[in-house]
């Protein structure tokens, strides 16, 4: 019995129950980002990707209030890999509809990294540093289909802080030309929801949803983790922390043949033996492993090893 239990425990990693697809799974064991991804692709689908605020809420639920957990977002850190996105992930960036000021975007003539956007009083666009505080930004409210200018000279906000405000009070930062046309007044050098980055999801998801806590440093911190209140933080990929996987657990059935010595027929006790094995697994945090017996056509689990001259019985 002890040998059988040990064998089941050693093989338990291969035996997973099937869960609903597209769920998030928190894994407490600390790993580096790459090791966490390997674990997730082996046992689930991949590290977690997030498409919208609903996904984010489910991600937070899976983490159960815990933070510092890897998600599937990683950056190359290369300026040449940057792509423009809108803060609202359902709005797609169209290069043909970009009213840039002549010569923009230009990364401050090459002297600084400018990954966020300001709209001037004429409705034209200019790239700016994301960490610079502006007293004006424009939110979009989906329920009323309105663009709302927030002008607060006493409380300047960075692009990320403006995004957080708009998502908390309205829907998001104004995104796209259609929403820009809803403005009823001049824009007064305001932040809007266009940004660019070199981040991508490990599962190749096209999602452009981002929920950063603060300015992101991609020079040395090229991996993303779930932080406090569901906001994301960049971190060095080699750090070990918990992580969140996504997708259905992969199922694999493993047949284990065991030899047992007993003076009596064990078939009448097969269910009791199975229950005792399952209890031992549950007690050792292997509750995800579900055991069943493989029965023959006579519904027998255990077969006696007998000589060829002996008379065969149904379970012999």
Identify the CATH number of the domain in which residue 217 sits.
3.10.100.10
Domain extent, residue 222, equals 18-80+202-250
Query: Which of 197, 212, 232 finishes a domain?
Result: 197
Q: Dihedral sign, CA of 142, 144, 147, 150?
A: negative
- The answer on 286 and 184 residing in a single domain is no
Q: Based on the domain organization, do 89 and 237 belong to the same domain? A: no
Asked whether residue 213 falls in the same domain as residue 225, the answer is yes
For residues 212-221, one letter each, b for 16 or more C-beta atoms within 10 angstroms of the residue's C-beta and e for the rest, the string is bbbebebeeb
Residue 308 has what pLDDT? 53
pLDDT-based confidence at residue 292 (cuts at 50, 70, 90): confident
Q: Tell whether 246 and 259 lie within a shared domain.
A: no
CA angle 287, 293, 299 (to 5 degrees): 155
Residue 172 sits in the same domain as residue 306: no
pLDDT in tens, 18-50: 323 358 999 999 999 999 999 999 999 999 999
Count up the domains in the chain and report the number.
3
Q: Which of 217, 232, 250 is the last residue of a domain?
A: 250
Beta bridge partners of 83: 197
Q: What percent of the chain has pLDDT over 90?
A: 63
Domain boundary among 234, 250, 266: 250
Residues 213 and 316 reside in one and the same domain: no
pLDDT reading at 8 higher than 50: no
Range among 165-174, 219-228, 268-277, 289-298 with highest mean pLDDT value: 165-174
Task: Concatenate the DSSP letters of all residues of 74-94 into one string.
Answer: EE---GGG-EEEESSTTSPP-
Q: What angle do CA 86, 87, 93 make, to 5 degrees?
A: 10
Sign of CA dihedral 133, 237, 40, 277: negative
Taking residues 199-207, report their average pLDDT. Answer: 95
* 264 and 288 belong to one structural domain: yes
Q: Are residues 164 and 110 in the same domain?
A: yes
The predicted pLDDT at position 307 comes to 54
- 27 bridge partner residues: 243
Asked if residue 190 and residue 130 are part of one domain, the reply reads yes
67 and 12 within one domain = no
Alpha-helix runs per DSSP H in 94-198 = 107-110, 159-169, 177-180
* Window from 42-46, 50-54, 63-67, 304-308 with minimum mean pLDDT: 304-308
End-to-end CA distance of the chain: 20
Q: If we measure between CA atoms, which residue out of 241, 204, 206, 207 comes closest to residue 224?
A: 241
Phi, psi of 245 (to 5 degrees): -95, 165
Residues 98 and 171 in one domain: yes
Strands annotated E in the chain: 24-31, 46-47, 69-75, 83-86, 116-119, 125-128, 136-141, 146-151, 172-173, 190-197, 199-201, 223-226, 232-235, 241-246
Asked whether residue 70 falls in the same domain as residue 208, the answer is: yes
Residue with tokens 């990320």: 160
Distance of CA 147 to the CA centre of its chain: 30
**Helix (H) / strand (E) containing 272:** helix 270-283
pLDDT band at 63 (very low <50, low <70, confident <90, very high): very high
Half-sphere exposure of 65 (CA within 13 A, CB side): 0
């Amino acid at each position: 019995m002890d040998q059988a239990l040990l064998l089941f425990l050693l093989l338990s990693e291969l035996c997973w129950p099937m869960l609903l697809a597209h769920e998030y799974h928190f894994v407490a064991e600390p790993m580096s980002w790459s090791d966490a991804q390997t674990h997730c692709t082996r046992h689930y689908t991949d590290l977690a990707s997030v498409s919208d605020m609903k996904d984010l809420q489910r991600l937070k639920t899976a983490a159960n209030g815990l933070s510092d957990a890897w998600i599937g977002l990683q950056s190359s850190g290369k300026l040449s890999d940057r792509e423009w996105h809108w803060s609202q992930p359902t709005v797609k960036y169209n290069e043909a509809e970009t009213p840039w000021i002549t010569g923009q975007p230009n990364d401050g003539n090459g002297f600084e990294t400018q990954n966020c956007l300001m709209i001037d009083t004429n409705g034209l666009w200019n790239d700016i540093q994301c960490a610079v505080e502006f007293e004006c930004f424009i939110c979009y409210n989906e329920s009323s289909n309105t663009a709302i200018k927030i002008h607060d000279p006493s409380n300047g906000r960075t692009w990320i802080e403006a995004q957080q405000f708009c998502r908390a009070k309205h829907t998001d930062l104004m995104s796209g030309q259609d929403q820009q046309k809803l403005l009823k007044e001049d824009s007064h050098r305001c932040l809007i929801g266009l940004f660019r980055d070199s981040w991508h999801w490990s599962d190749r998801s096209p999602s452009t949803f981002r929920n950063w806590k603060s300015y992101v440093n991609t020079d040395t911190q090229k991996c993303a983790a779930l932080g406090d209140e569901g906001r994301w933080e960049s971190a060095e990929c080699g750090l070990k922390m918990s992580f969140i996987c996504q997708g259905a657990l992969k199922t694999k059935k493993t047949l284990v043949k065991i030899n047992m010595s007993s003076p009596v027929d064990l078939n009448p006790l097969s269910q009791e033996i199975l229950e005792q094995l399952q209890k031992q697994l549950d007690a050792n945090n292997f509750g995800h492993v579900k055991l069943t017996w493989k029965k023959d056509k006579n519904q027998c689990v255990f077969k006696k090893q007998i000589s060829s001259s002996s008379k065969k019985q149904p379970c012999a």
